[in-house]
């Protein structure tokens, strides 16, 4: 899957977020880079469905079917933000193609490559000056159905907009953990620890840690707190509601509604997500930069107050 100096052609698939107005910026950069480096044998593939959003302006892109993008690519560029990476993960699925995220959004915990560093990071990739970070996924099976889902960030069982709380009976392996009375319950991977779970008061977990986080949202009991369990655990949820259904969300996207009494079985997936990382930047650097740790906001507030009174 990974290129070597002896490889002939590197095929790179591109997944874009068409809602991003800046999508042409990294494509212009790639276009110029490709023209100036004709000796580098790289083939760029773009899904024909997404090619209409770039209006055929870039001749270096080969418009093919999504299936061909996924079957032929040795590397996938996800142009957008963390949401684009989440979508790319679902598309790549078991293929385990390395993914390089190019951040055109805001926070960008997963998509760490900026458009300005895109060609530098690609050149580093060609030279082997990178590493692959393997991230775990959460597998969810809906009991008594043939439905199975995989989540990169988290799975959320939610009360579906009903005014009353729901009950989520939760077992870890063969032991009852809790019968949560809450608005919802988040089951998060380490990757998802900096997403919805963090907003709900959960801990930040280093990606390489082999755990899952069980985190209730607005629990009825103030003693209910997030619980971290080994990712080898078998988690069973059975959900009860006075409403007609509860809703299941995967990585922020609605799967569907399920009737009261539905059970969900959660385990670690038997494949991983491979994220391309540059050696210049680590997880702790990302935390400091994205969460603005160590910054003194007092002078900024004072400056804003003084300027507002001029």
Q: Which residues are catalytic?
A: 82
Query: Cα 30 vs. chain centroid, distance in angstroms?
Result: 24
Residue 281's alpha-carbon distances to 73, 130, 152, 201, 248, in angstroms, are: 25, 10, 21, 26, 35
The answer to whether residues 113 and 121 touch, using CB atoms and an 8 Å cutoff, is yes
Distance separating alpha carbons of residues 166 and 276, to the nearest angstrom = 40
d(CA 179, CA 189): 21
DSSP-assigned states of every residue in 150-216: EESSEEEEE-TT-SS-EEEEEEETTEEEEEEEESEEEEE-SGGGGTHHHHTTPPP--TT--EEEEEE
How far is residue 14's CA from residue 118's CA, in Å, rounded to a whole number?
A: 13
């Amino acid at each position: 899957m990974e290129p070597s100096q002896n490889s002939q052609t590197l095929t790179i698939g591109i997944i874009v977020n068409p809602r991003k107005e800046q999508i042409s910026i990294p494509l212009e950069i790639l276009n110029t880079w490709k023209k100036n480096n004709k000796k580098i044998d790289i083939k760029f593939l773009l899904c024909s469905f997404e090619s209409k959003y770039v209006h055929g302006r870039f001749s270096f892109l080969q418009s093919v079917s999504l299936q061909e993008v996924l079957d032929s690519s040795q590397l996938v560029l996800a142009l957008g933000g963390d949401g684009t990476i989440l979508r790319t993960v679902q598309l790549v699925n078991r293929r385990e193609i390395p993914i390089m995220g190019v951040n055109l959004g805001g926070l960008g915990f997963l998509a760490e490559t900026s458009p300005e560093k895109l060609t530098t990071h690609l050149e580093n990739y060609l030279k082997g000056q990178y590493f692959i970070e393997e991230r775990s996924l959460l597998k969810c099976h809906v009991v008594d159905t043939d439905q199975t889902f995989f989540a990169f960030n988290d799975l959320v069982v939610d009360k579906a907009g009903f005014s009353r709380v729901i009950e989520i009976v939760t077992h870890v392996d063969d032991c009852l953990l809790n019968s949560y009375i809450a608005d919802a319950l988040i089951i998060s991977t380490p990757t998802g620890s900096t997403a919805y779970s963090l907003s709900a008061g959960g801990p930040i977990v280093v990606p390489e840690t082999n755990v899952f986080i069980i985190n209730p949202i607005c629990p009825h009991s103030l003693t209910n707190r997030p619980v971290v369990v080994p990712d080898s655990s078998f988690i069973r949820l059975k959900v009860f509601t006075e409403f007609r259904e509860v809703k299941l969300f995967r990585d922020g996207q609605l799967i569907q509604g399920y009737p009261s009494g539905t059970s969900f079985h959660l385990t670690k997936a038997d494949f991983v997500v491979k994220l391309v990382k540059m050696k210049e930047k680590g997880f702790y650097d990302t935390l400091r930069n994205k969460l603005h740790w160590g910054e003194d906001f007092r002078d900024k507030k004072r400056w804003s107050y003084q300027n507002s009174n001029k």
